[in-house]
């Protein structure tokens, strides 16, 4: 049968989602835990591979198994074998046609910036620190230039392996809550480093180094070299992955606790 699941993890101590020979990965930790519960090797397919240091509030995946376990047993048993920085939030059987990556209709990311002169302490690696005062008004104006279906070559990593650079950016919001600046991005899918590159451009504009129209210039250049600095992975969260209602995948990212996130 096919099982879908939703994960939460702190990416600070991982080299990223994807399994690697000489580095700690979320995938390896999850597959090892699931394999113990199933008493057979388990390989998972994830909705989107996150980079080193990137966190997830509700990462989706699926796997196939002949092991018969209750939904409770999948969650409770897997969490028993997972490290403290990974937790399985939900698991249930789904239709065999469900695919964690290809059935998804959208991805939501949050990027959280602590905007003050002094570096973070207990929030280190959970937020990005920006000592320059960010003006969110020009950041919001710049974001409007990027909404819609575009060729986002300027906003993807040089090593990005996606066949097409075209994506539909459905929303790009910038809000300030006290010392925190939040960037929320929603798209049908994202390119490698796309959110971090979007954040880098918006932060440069918010710091007064560029005008809002620069965002459009970067987009139209279709050249990564035009896009400036890639923002830190610290503070980047895969907030949720959306699916058609018929798939039966819950949206567990709603109401997640974080300073002024909601």
Interval 148-165: pLDDT, tens: 999 999 999 888 888 999
Give the rounded distance of the alpha carbon of 30 from its chain centre.
17
Is 51 an annotated catalytic residue? yes
Beta-carbon count within 10 A of 156 CB: 21
Domain boundaries, the chain: 2-103, 106-238
Kindly name the residue from 39, 51, 64, 95 that is annotated as catalytic: 51
Task: Give me the DSSP letters along 147-211.
Answer: -EEEE-GGGS-TT---S--EEEEEEEEEEEETTEEEEEEEES---TTHHHHHHHHHHHHHTTSS-
- The reported pTM is 0.92
Interval 126-151: pLDDT, tens: 999 999 999 999 999 999 999 999 99
The CATH-assigned architecture of domain 106-238 is: 2-Layer Sandwich (3.30)
Residue 86 β-bridge partners: 9
Reported CATH class of domain 2-103 = alpha beta
Whole-number pLDDT of residue 21: 84
Task: Say whether 106-238 and 2-103 share the same fold.
Answer: yes
Instruction: Confirm or deny that 243 is annotated as ligand binding.
Output: no
Residue 73 clears pLDDT 50, i.e. is over it: yes
What is d(CA 92, CA 178) in angstroms, rounded to the nearest whole number? 40
Long-range contacts of 161-168 (CB under 8 A, 24+ apart): 161/192, 162/191, 162/192, 165/191, 165/222, 167/191, 167/194
Interval 184-198: pLDDT, tens: 999 999 999 999 999
Which of the four pLDDT bands, split at 50, 70 and 90, describes residue 233? very high
């Amino acid at each position: 049968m096919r099982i879908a699941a939703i994960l939460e993890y702190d990416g600070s101590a991982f080299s990223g989602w994807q399994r690697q020979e000489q580095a700690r990965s979320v995938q390896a930790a999850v597959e090892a835990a699931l394999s113990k519960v199933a008493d057979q090797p388990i390989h998972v397919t994830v909705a989107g591979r996150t980079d080193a240091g990137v966190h997830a509030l509700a990462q989706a995946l699926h796997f196939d198994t002949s092991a018969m376990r209750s939904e409770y047993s999948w969650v409770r048993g897997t969490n028993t074998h997972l490290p403290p920085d990974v937790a399985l939030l939900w698991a249930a059987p789904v239709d065999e046609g469900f695919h964690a990556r290809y059935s998804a209709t959208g991805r939501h990311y949050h990027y959280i910036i602590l905007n003050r002169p002094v570096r973070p302490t207990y929030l280190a690696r959970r937020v990005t620190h920006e000592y320059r005062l960010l003006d969110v008004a020009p950041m919001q104006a710049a974001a409007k230039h990027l909404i819609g279906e575009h060729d986002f070559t300027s906003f993807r990593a040089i090593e990005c392996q996606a066949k097409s650079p075209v994506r539909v950016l459905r929303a790009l919001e910038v809000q300030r809550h006290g010392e925190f600046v939040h960037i929320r991005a929603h798209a049908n899918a994202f390119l490698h480093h796309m959110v971090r590159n979007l954040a880098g451009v918006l932060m440069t504009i918010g710091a007064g180094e560029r005008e809002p129209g620069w965002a459009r210039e970067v987009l139209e250049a279709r050249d990564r070299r035009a896009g400036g600095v890639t923002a830190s992975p610290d503070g980047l969260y895969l907030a949720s992955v959306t699916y058609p209602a018929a798939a039966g995948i819950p949206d567990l990212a709603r109401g997640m606790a974080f300073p002024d996130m909601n």
